[in-house]
Amino acid sequence: MAEPLALTIDSLETPIGELLLVVDGEGRLRAVDWRDHEDRMLLLVRRYCGPRGCTLAPGRAAATAALGAYFKGDLAAIDRLPVASGGTEFQRRVWAALRRIPCGETVSYATLAKEIGHPSAVRAVGHANGANPVSVVVPCHRVIGADGTLTGYGGGLSRKSWLLAHEGAAFKSRAA
């Protein structure tokens, strides 16, 4: 049996909470999520490691500096960070499409479904978006409702709102 995948976990304080990053030995992001969702993130990491398993040790990740720069206003700092997150072929297509959404822009789930060639798979695209293990870098927060309102975000709508405002994206707040 293959050796377990050795992963490093790092953290970053941001204006909207502590962000956790999991990287492999090649510096590729395997997961990014908020500290208050650490259990969910670790479950996804273990799922993507599969039967091989993984080890997780604290350490410094080069990607942390790029994410820090992003939160300080260098919005392009995260654009070229390498990602290796597993998932199904369909999920990987959705996640690749998410990375092509320019900073400061948003798309609807229907638009994203059309972009990947599955215009009737809006719900499946929504599920893949929600299963994204590399938040912020794979910008699932840039997907909003067809009417321009904020829709669900694994880190919470207040974080989604902050990220979109930070990037200069237009959106409508939901009525209370």
Q: SS3 helix, strand, coil % of the chain, rounded to 5?
A: 40, 20, 40
Residue with tokens 């492999």: 24
Residue with tokens 């479950």: 43
Q: Which among 49, 54, 103, 140 is annotated as catalytic?
A: 140
106: its two tokens: 């948003």
Distances from the Cα of 44 to the Cα of 50, 83, 99, 123, angstroms: 10, 14, 20, 20
End-to-end CA distance of the chain: 54
The residue type at 61: A
Q: Is position 140 annotated as part of the catalytic site? A: yes
Phi, psi of 92 (to 5 degrees): -65, -35
Positions annotated as catalytic residues are 140
